Amino acid sequence: MPEYLGLKDEWRAGFVERVGAFSLDLLLIVWTYTAGLHVLVGLPLLGGTISFLKGYLVLLAGLGALSMAYFTVFNSQGRQTAGKWVFGIRAVRDDRSPISLKKGFFRSLCYLFSEGVLYVGFLWALWDRKRQAWHDKLVGTVVEVIRPQTAGTRLLALLCFLCLLVSSTFPSATVKSRFRAFTTPTSSMVWTLLPGDYFIADLGFMDFADVARGDIIVFAPPNGGDQAYIKRCVALGGQHLEVRRNMLILDGESVPEPYIYMGGIDSPYANWGPLTVPRDSVYVMGDNRDNSLDSRYFGFLDKDLILGRADVIYWSMEPDTGTPRVERVGRRIE
């Protein structure tokens, strides 16, 4: 066994080189993850958020297995990961002999845990006299230099680290391009949505299917403003609609609406119409028909203003007290 000489033991890789290798290897994983997300959000996810979450779990499992295989194979038997190859370092045992495939697998497990979960295990090498991170200490490995380091190497390490910081925002931006979180500030959609409900909307559903009658859609305010509206689409372009005694009538036939809430037959909104919805427009109303600012006020909604379709409630709480309404979490919006 070698005698440890701290910072004078020059065959051990310095922290900067390890950061560079770590950043470059993680960059490859982040880019693979982002590419997978791009493919996933571009699929016709007819099940909306639920279908996305199922696909996302498959993506994570596949990426996790791929990462484990990558770090296991290329950190054992004298091999190098892409990051270690670029920076001229490799993982070895305490006696500088190559680590076995079994030890490489265990090291990969410890590596993913200490960096992916705790995220601080790698920083231990800053002040450890053996320059070991936590995963090195757990399995008894060190990282040695096999190629002379230069000022250019240190600059490259900094560039890789900065690229990693920038690239870490890509997955979130990719998901937000398809799914976005909203909240319900008013009672216009009672009882389907309550004030204090937080939900996910699928912004890409119209790339694969047209809006359908009964869809609960999020749209930009027709008369301007910053706050998005959420209402139910009750009629499509070309349909004739009217309301008689609180009953919606489309093209001469009554349509049951078990989800609506009204004050009674004496409501001022109990009878109105008939109207014909223009092409490329829809007619929207809140489920709380007596308390909703909708197409009865601002007119037909141009389909170009539709942002997405409300999909699933991910959190809910009483707006006054903040008391969680756990029973509503995960409920599909329909």
- Exposure pattern of 4-29 as b/e (b: 16+ CB <10 Å)? eeeeeeeebbbbbbbbbbbbbbbbeb
- Exposure pattern of 243-265 as b/e (b: 16+ CB <10 Å)? beebebbbeeeeeebeebbeeee
d(CA 185, CA 320): 12
Annotation says 231 is catalytic: yes
Selecting among 188, 281, 292, 295, the annotated active-site residue is: 188
**CA count, 13 A, side-chain hemisphere, 195:** 11
Q: What is the DSSP letter of 147?
A: S
For residues 52, 56, 57 and 62, what is the CA-based torsion angle, rounded to 10 degrees? 140
3-state helix, strand, coil in the chain (%, to 5): 40, 20, 40
What is the arrangement of strands in the sheet containing 240-244, beginning at the earlier edge strand?
253-255, 247-250, 240-244, 272-276
Q: How many CB atoms lie within 10 A of CB 274?
A: 11
**CA count, 13 A, side-chain hemisphere, 248:** 23
Sequence letter at residue 310: A
Q: Which helix (H) or strand (E) holds 138?
A: helix 134-139
**Counting every residue, how long is the chain?**
334
- The phi, psi pair for 181, rounded to 5°, reads -90, 140
Selecting among 23, 231, 292, 303, the annotated active-site residue is: 231
CA proximity to 332, closest of 206, 195, 200, 228: 200
- Exposure pattern of 148-174 as b/e (b: 16+ CB <10 Å)? ebeeebbebbeebbebbeebeebbeeb
Annotation says 188 is catalytic: yes
Indicate which residues carry an active-site annotation: 188, 231
